[in-house]
Amino acid sequence: MNKDFFVNKRVKIADFMTDNSLLVMFSGTAPHKSADYAYPFTPNRNFYYLTGIDKPKVVLLISKRNNKVNETLFIEKADPLLEKWEGRKLSAEEAGELSGIQDIKNQDDFYNVINKLLDANSYEKLYLNLERFEWNLEQDAAHIFSREINQRHPYLKIENIYHHIAKLRTIKAIEEQQSIRKAIDITGNAINNMMKNVKADMMENQLEAYYDFVLVSSGVREPAFPSIIAAGINAATLHYEDNNCKIEDNSLVLADVGAQYEYYCADITRTFPANGKFTERQKLLYNIVLKAQEETIKAVKPGITLTELNEITKSVLADGCKSIGLIKEDSEITKYYYHGVAHLLGLDTHDVGSREIPLESGMVLTIEPGLYVAEEKLGIRIEDDILITDNGYENLSQHIIKTVNEIEELMSER
């Protein structure tokens, strides 16, 4: 991603900020895991969206006074001894090249700098990224800083910038679309590798290894989310992540997976037979799901909402299930289909943005209908990633095979 992308996003944020205001954002730190180990670090996505920096303990400060905007990055100070253990820290030159910010200071100076700014100038407002996904989550750096600065400078009005950044993030620039396309291409190759190597009596996590191999070989540091490799009845659990059961002959395998490229996510689901051939019953149910997906994708266009798309999905699934006697009334479809058909996609797999907002050109979403028939020990889901265009849509993952004939043909080549 070119630094001009991040410069442009900060310009939009600065335009949104009122005069005599400050913005502070934190890249985050890796949470503690056990003993002297931490979980792998991943940057706060809103911070990354504005800076292109993916290192821990970095702080972004933007000041706007008399309509003049200044930007400063605070990075960790180099420590030659510590770097022998943990590797080289981000240099000021690298931080500037990645972000386009010229004023780079040591992270240790942050509190002194911001205190001097507040002492010398009449700033009225402070913008912070106060995302709160769950009530009981531990407070992150932004929430802690909010509490601390309120105690020291109670006259400052604190405003949450999260929702404004989220609104910007819903529309994907060309650079973002390219990263998503790359993530999808890698995911498709990895899915094909699973289809070519799956066999009855192997373990789900053994099959997952064929997926992981392609990602690692393609330079992917981590997947977009924990992979779901669910065989048989396990596929009826939507977020099954154990991946530790044996794959039985004549069972279907549901693989809900996604690579991550430059922190942009793919989210693709394919369902395929362990032995390479669908049974007649599996084929019947699979084609109902496939028809629901095709009809829902056809309805994608600017102005429609995710809720409206889900109603189309439910109607097609209900008609199909009634035609084979699985249900008698439309309302019964919730027994076999119990999730929404779509979510937005981007820097997060379940990306920012309300389910009720009308879709706009530049948004990317998933379309993922499913049927989960626990009494028959199977679950079927088919998921593609869709870009909203001015006049409709583009299926970014249309090259990843999904019809019964395509899947059986590929698996016959094993």
Distances from the Cα of 225 to the Cαs of 41, 203, 231, 265, in angstroms? 14, 20, 18, 9
d(CA 30, CA 131): 17
Tell which CATH architecture fits domain 171-412: Alpha-Beta Complex (3.90)
Does the pLDDT of residue 121 top 90, yes or no?
Answer: no
Instruction: Look at the chain and count its residues.
Output: 414
Cβ-proximal residues to 315 (8 Å cutoff; 6+ apart), any chain: 330
**CA–CA separation, 382 vs 144, rounded Å?**
42
Domain boundaries, the chain: 3-169, 171-412
pLDDT at 85: 83
pLDDT at residue 79, as a whole number = 81
Q: Does residue 359 carry a pLDDT above 80? A: yes
- Strand-pairing partners, residue 255, are 229, 270
Alpha carbon separation from 351 to 99, 163, 264, 346 (Å, rounded): 23, 12, 10, 6
Between 3.20.20.70, 2.70.98.10, 3.90.1280.20, 3.40.350.10, what CATH number should domain 3-169 receive? Answer: 3.40.350.10
Element (H, E) at 273: strand 268-273
CB 342 within 8 A of CB 367: yes
CB 386 within 8 Å of CB 299: no
Q: Average pLDDT of 179-189?
A: 98
Alpha helices, DSSP H only, in 72-109?
Answer: 80-86, 92-99
pLDDT given at position 134: 75
Secondary structure element (H or E) that encloses residue 78, with its range: none
Q: How confident is the model at residue 32 (pLDDT cuts 50, 70, 90)?
A: confident
* pLDDT confidence of residue 83: 79
Written as one letter, the residue type at 354 is S
Identify the CA nearest to 10 among candidates 56, 52, 54: 52
- Per-residue pLDDT at 137 exceeds 80: no
The type of residue at 350 is H
Quote the Cα angle for 214-264-296, to 5°.
95
- pTM to 2 decimal places: 0.96
pLDDT tens-digit map of 67-78: 999 999 999 988
Query: Phi and psi at residue 308, in whole multiples of 5°?
Result: -65, -40
